[in-house]
């Protein structure tokens, strides 16, 4: 480009030397960097200069910070500035706006005096088409960063933001922690521990090991129930009455995570740590102060109900809760987890009411959630996916079978009244096939694994996502342990699962040729579950089962796989981000449908997506295609040819 | 990449002079530096020229100009230590007439900027004049800009000292610019461009954001 080329090297040499340390440019050969340098400009922005402003105009260049730093922020509907990210030396900005070729969503301004190199948009496109490393790098960044942006778009659209809920997502634990953690060592006598606790003005006491890490917690209740009520000698060490392990959150986590921890462990106190060391305590009371309407309140409300009608009314409130959670920045997986938590509570409550109605169960049983409920991935659209395992002692006894028949019927009817319609596939405890003693369940899993067929794999997909919801956990554990053992020699089964996993290909041609439903009610729409989230769920399940990962939630499965050696971590991370993204799109679309008074479905209209969303979706589909081809290479078996029909 | 080669003469003469009330960030600049045979104003000749274009405060890395010229005279050996151009480099330089022709295209319509740019202009006008043309672009001296900014902002005891030391490395350092001492015409032009880039923002902040206002105190 430059003329004469050799003479350009004085100035461009410095630029090249800089680019050699900036990904993704560092992956390019020197000659390409020199050519690139000759297309760039150098810009100077004094502190507080607004470099890019959110608005209809897309950025026409990619910016690389050479000196200084910038912040990316947006203004909420109420005019509050929220800083989303900062970029410092060697980092880039302006890319998403540039790739979306639509509006810039964020303000970018200089935090200090800042020098930036810029590359014109068409050069960036050119680089991405010529160098796959550059494209991969840029697109990965955009996929993983999409969620924040998409949620922020939602926030911007929101005008009714309850202060209480917003605080859940904008404050960190450190911002709200008030109580200090009162601690004592394991060998402290009970009486001395009680004295330490009351002297500290605390309602709980953390028992720490020699290294300062909390080993257990003692509350007022423990002193009442385990000391006074049992007449325990006061000179016994406090660790005999403590509860463990301690549920802890780090100072830097957002308050929402405390909520999730409290909900899932059913506890009222969470230890706040800094670098693992106790620094404070957060109670449910602290959270109550922060919020009016909240998931915790909803769960409590569910727990208070004594009738099915009361439960039905309480369950409806989740419909109000979800839009709030979305607007305030919860990720898709956070939202579905809250839904699962509420569903579990409703289920637990129904079984409690069943016991009042039908009397105690003659033998122990475990009520399990299966399918999407088992993965804790239900959204607005919820149906019944469940099953019942009872102890082998009840096998073949008519009165036991009769009891569980009535229990399942009661539950199925109650769930329907509470807004969970019966499952189309009849995967419910009400179906005698899925209401069996442990030994029968074990034989089911054995048959699925050893005698896998295309048809039985459908059932297996539902029940390999099994999760205990209520009752005797030991029954579920026995079944799970048995299954894990069988899976160690389940090569053929895995091969069948693999076949099913790659059956639905993502529509890679989606945006070029609009590969959508061509006829019928959903003409020109895309089934985002069938072609998007479904294939990720299937891939994650297969890889998790293969690697012995016990989680059922797709995000948890992918995260656990990511931490194992020998996995394609970059791809797993992309899949996780893609799954969050696609689930979020589905939630957004379902929320719109709910608002319009339509039943929530899984179809989306491509024309309602922004360019950025389309681009991100395309990346998500490409990640799915990559994992599917890896799965095919690894699990393909000769029998696939017979699985077809 | 903007082409400065092959501009027709008709187009060249049609270039309008920049308006005095034009905002500083709307103008096209060419920031330049030269290496000379000596500092003797009457007899010195051009050895090399480096220049880089700016659109407003944006430095166009893609619009650089650097040529070593063969002036057709013997080059005093002492200068080699300063500008690094050996006699053999100069002998391999391009013919003066050709370089000047390319340079005139590159400078066309631009406001010239340089540090003590009067020295560069003096030699360029002599060379261009010798070829039967003139060089009458408006020109801004960043040394004068610096002095004016100092006088209008600094009130410290050291002002007198600062006004005495106006060489490019000292001024660049006072603007927190990092650079290596090079005495290469293009390198120095680039450093001056970075200096002018910052000065544009400073001048705008001082309500001195038009060409006319700056030329009043910084015309070379």
Using one digit for the tens of pLDDT, what is the confidence trace for A515-550?
444 445 555 678 888 888 999 999 999 999 999 898
The residue that leads in pLDDT, A600 or A381, is: A600
What is the reported pLDDT for A297?
A: 67
Under the banding of pLDDT at 50, 70 and 90, the label for residue B183 is confident
Any A CB within 8 A of B52 CB: yes
Architecture of domain A5-157: Sandwich (2.60)
What is the reported pLDDT for A512?
A: 33
- Domain tally for chain B? 1
Any A CB within 8 A of B5 CB: yes
What is the reported pLDDT for A327?
A: 61
Which one of A1, A11, A113 has the shortest CB-CB distance to B1?
A1
Tell if the CB–CB gap between B197 and A2 is shorter than 8 Å.
Answer: no
Percent of chain B with pLDDT over 90: 50
- Looking at chain B, which residue has its C-alpha nearest residue A13? B187
Q: In this model, does residue B217 exceed pLDDT 60?
A: yes
What is the reported pLDDT for B77?
A: 65
The residue that leads in pLDDT, A320 or A356, is: A356
d(CA A360, CA A368): 18
Any B CB within 8 A of A630 CB: no
- B8 falls within a domain: no
B36-39: long-range contacts, CB 8 A cutoff, minimum separation 24: B36/B79, B36/B119, B36/B123, B37/B71, B37/B73, B37/B75, B37/B76, B37/B79, B38/B76, B38/B79, B39/B119
Domain spans in chain A, listed from the N-terminal domain onward: 5-157, 171-288, 490-645
What is the reported pLDDT for A295?
A: 66
**Tokens 């463990």 found at:** A244
Distance from CA of B58 to the nearest CA of A (A): 5
**Strand, coil or helix: what is A477?**
helix
Tell if the CB–CB gap between B62 and A113 is shorter than 8 Å.
Answer: no
Hey, what are A458's tokens? 């459908």
Q: In this model, does residue B191 exceed pLDDT 50?
A: yes
Tell if the CB–CB gap between A4 and B60 is shorter than 8 Å.
Answer: no
Tell if the CB–CB gap between A38 and B190 is shorter than 8 Å.
Answer: no
Under the banding of pLDDT at 50, 70 and 90, the label for residue A104 is low
Any A CB within 8 A of B205 CB: yes
- B11 falls within a domain: no
Contact residues, chain B, for A35 at CB < 8 Å: none
Q: In this model, does residue A410 exceed pLDDT 80?
A: yes
What is the reported pLDDT for A150?
A: 43
What is the reported pLDDT for A142?
A: 45
- B87 falls within a domain: yes
Hey, what are A605's tokens? 């209209």
- B155 falls within a domain: yes
Give, for A67, the enclosing helix (H) or strand (E).
strand A61-67
What is the reported pLDDT for A149?
A: 46
Under the banding of pLDDT at 50, 70 and 90, the label for residue B182 is low
What is the reported pLDDT for B25?
A: 92
What is the reported pLDDT for A508?
A: 57
Q: What is the domain-level CATH number for residue B169? A: 3.30.420.10
Distance from CA of B122 to the nearest CA of A (A): 24
Under the banding of pLDDT at 50, 70 and 90, the label for residue A345 is confident
Tell if the CB–CB gap between B64 and A8 is shorter than 8 Å.
Answer: yes
First to last CA, chain B: 29
- B135 falls within a domain: yes
- B10 falls within a domain: no
What is the reported pLDDT for A111?
A: 83
What is the reported pLDDT for B125?
A: 93
Tell me: domain A171-288, CATH 3.10.580.10, correct?
Answer: yes
d(CA B120, CA B118): 5
What is the reported pLDDT for A409?
A: 94
- Looking at chain A, which residue has its C-alpha nearest residue B190? A11
Contact assessment for residue A293 and residue A338, using Cβ atoms and an 8 Å cutoff: no
What is the reported pLDDT for A289?
A: 58
d(CA A325, CA A379): 12
From A277-291, B3-17, B135-149, the region with the lowest mean pLDDT: B3-17
Q: What is the mean pLDDT of chain A?
A: 80
Tell if the CB–CB gap between A46 and B205 is shorter than 8 Å.
Answer: yes
Any A CB within 8 A of B194 CB: yes
**Residue range B101-129: average pLDDT?**
94
Under the banding of pLDDT at 50, 70 and 90, the label for residue B70 is confident
Instruction: Write the pLDDT tens digit of every residue in A138-159.
Output: 765 544 444 444 444 444 433 3
The C-alpha angle B53, A94, A53, rounded to 5 degrees, equals 90
- B15 falls within a domain: no
Sheet of A365-369, strands arranged across: A435-437, A386-390, A365-369, A467-471
Instruction: Write the pLDDT tens digit of every residue in A39-81.
Output: 899 999 988 899 988 766 667 889 998 888 888 777 766 666 6
Burial class (CB in 10 A: 0-12, 13-18, 19+), A23: middle
Any A CB within 8 A of B66 CB: yes
């Amino acid at each position: 480009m430059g003329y004469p080329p050799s003479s350009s090297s004085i100035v461009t040499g410095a630029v090249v030397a800089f680019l050699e340390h900036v990904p993704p440019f560092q992956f390019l050969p020197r000659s390409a960097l020199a050519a690139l340098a000759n297309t760039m400009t150098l810009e100077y922005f004094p502190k507080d200069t607004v470099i890019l402003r959110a608005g209809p105009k897309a950025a026409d260049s990619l910016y690389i910070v050479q000196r200084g730093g910038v912040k990316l922020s947006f203004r909420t509907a109420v005019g509050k500035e929220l800083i989303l990210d900062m970029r410092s030396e060697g980092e880039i900005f302006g890319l998403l706006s540039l790739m979306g070729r639509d509006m810039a969503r964020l303000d970018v301004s200089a935090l200090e005096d800042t020098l930036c190199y810029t590359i014109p948009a068409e050069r960036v496109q050119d680089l991405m088409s010529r160098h796959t490393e550059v494209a991969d790098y840029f697109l990965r960044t955009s996929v993983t960063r999409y969620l924040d942006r998409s949620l922020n778009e939602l926030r911007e659209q929101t005008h009714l933001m309850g202060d209480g809920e917003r605080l859940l997502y904008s404050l960190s634990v450190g911002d709200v922690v008030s109580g200090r953690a009162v601690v004592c060592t394991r060998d402290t006598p009970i009486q001395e521990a009680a004295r330490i606790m009351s002297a500290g003005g605390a309602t709980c006491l953390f028992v720490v090991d020699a290294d300062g890490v909390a080993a257990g917690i003692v509350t007022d209740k423990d002193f009442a129930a385990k000391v006074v009520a049992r007449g325990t000698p006061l000179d016994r060490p406090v660790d005999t009455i403590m509860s463990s392990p301690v549920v802890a959150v780090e100072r830097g986590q957002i308050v929402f995570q405390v909520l999730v921890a409290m909900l899932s462990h059913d506890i009222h106190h969470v230890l706040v740590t800094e670098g693992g060391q106790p620094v404070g305590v957060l109670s449910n009371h602290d959270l109550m102060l922060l919020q009016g309407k909240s998931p915790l309140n909803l769960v409590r409300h569910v727990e208070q109900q004594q009738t099915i009608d009361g439960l039905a009314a309480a369950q409806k409130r989740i419909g109000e809760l979800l839009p709030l959670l979305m607007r305030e920045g919860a990720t898709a997986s956070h939202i579905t987890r809250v839904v699962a938590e509420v569903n579990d509570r409703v289920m637990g409550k129904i079984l409690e009411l069943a016991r009042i109605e039908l009397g105690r169960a003659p033998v122990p049983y475990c009520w399990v959630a299966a399918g999407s409920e088992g993965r804790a991935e239900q959204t607005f659209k919820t149906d019944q996916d469940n099953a019942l395992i009872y102890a082998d002692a009840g096998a073949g006894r008519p009165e036991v079978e009769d009891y569980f028949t009535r229990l399942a019927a009661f539950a199925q009817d109650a769930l329907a009244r509470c807004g969970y319609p019966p499952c189309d596939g009849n995967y419910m405890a009400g179906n005698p096939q899925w209401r069996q003693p442990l030994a029968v369940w074990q034989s089911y899993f054995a048959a699925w694994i050893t005698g896998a067929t295309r048809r039985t794999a459908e059932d297996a997909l539902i029940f390999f996502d099994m999760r205990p919801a209520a009752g005797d956990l030991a029954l579920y554990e026995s079944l799970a342990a048995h299954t894990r053992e069988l899976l160690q020699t389940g090569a053929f089964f895995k091969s069948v699962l693999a076949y099913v996993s790659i059956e639905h290909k993502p529509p890679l041609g989606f945006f070029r040729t609009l590969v959508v439903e061509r006829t019928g009610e959903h003409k020109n729409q895309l089934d985002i579950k069938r072609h998007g989230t479904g294939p990720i769920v299937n891939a994650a399940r297969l890889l998790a089962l293969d690697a012995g990962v016990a989680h059922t939630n797709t995000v948890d499965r992918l995260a656990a796989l990511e931490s194992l050696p020998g996995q394609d971590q970059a791809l797993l991370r992309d899949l996780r981000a893609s799954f969050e993204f696609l689930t979020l799109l589905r939630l957004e679309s379902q929320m719109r449908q709910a608002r319009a008074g339509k039943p929530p479905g899984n179809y989306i209209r491509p024309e309602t997506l922004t360019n950025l969303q389309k681009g991100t979706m395309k990346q998500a589909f490409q990640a799915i295609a990559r994992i599917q081809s890896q799965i095919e290479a690894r699990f393909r078996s000769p029998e696939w040819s017979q699985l077809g029909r | 990449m903007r082409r400065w080669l092959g501009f027709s003469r008709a187009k060249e003469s049609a270039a309008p002079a920049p308006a005095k009330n034009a905002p500083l960030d709307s103008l096209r600049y060419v920031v330049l530096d030269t290496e000379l045979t000596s500092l003797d104003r009457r007899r010195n000749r051009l050895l090399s020229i480096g220049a880089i274009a700016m659109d407003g405060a944006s430095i166009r890395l893609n619009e650089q100009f650097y040529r070593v010229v063969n002036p057709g005279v013997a080059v005093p050996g002492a200068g080699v230590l300063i500008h690094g151009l050996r006699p053999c480099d100069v002998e391999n330089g391009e013919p003066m007439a050709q370089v000047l022709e390319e340079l005139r295209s590159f400078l066309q319509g631009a406001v010239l900027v340089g540090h003590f740019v009067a020295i560069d202009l003096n030699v360029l006008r002599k060379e261009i004049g010798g070829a039967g043309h003139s060089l009458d672009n408006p020109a801004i001296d960043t040394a004068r800009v610096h002095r004016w900014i100092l006088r209008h902002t600094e009130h410290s005891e050291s002002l007198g000292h600062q006004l005495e030391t106006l060489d490019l490395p000292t001024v660049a350092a006072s603007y927190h610019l990092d650079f290596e001492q090079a005495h290469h015409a293009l390198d120095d032009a680039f450093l001056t461009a970075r200096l002018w880039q910052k000065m544009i923002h400073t001048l705008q902040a001082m309500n001195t954001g038009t060409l006319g206002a700056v030329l009043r105190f910084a015309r070379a």
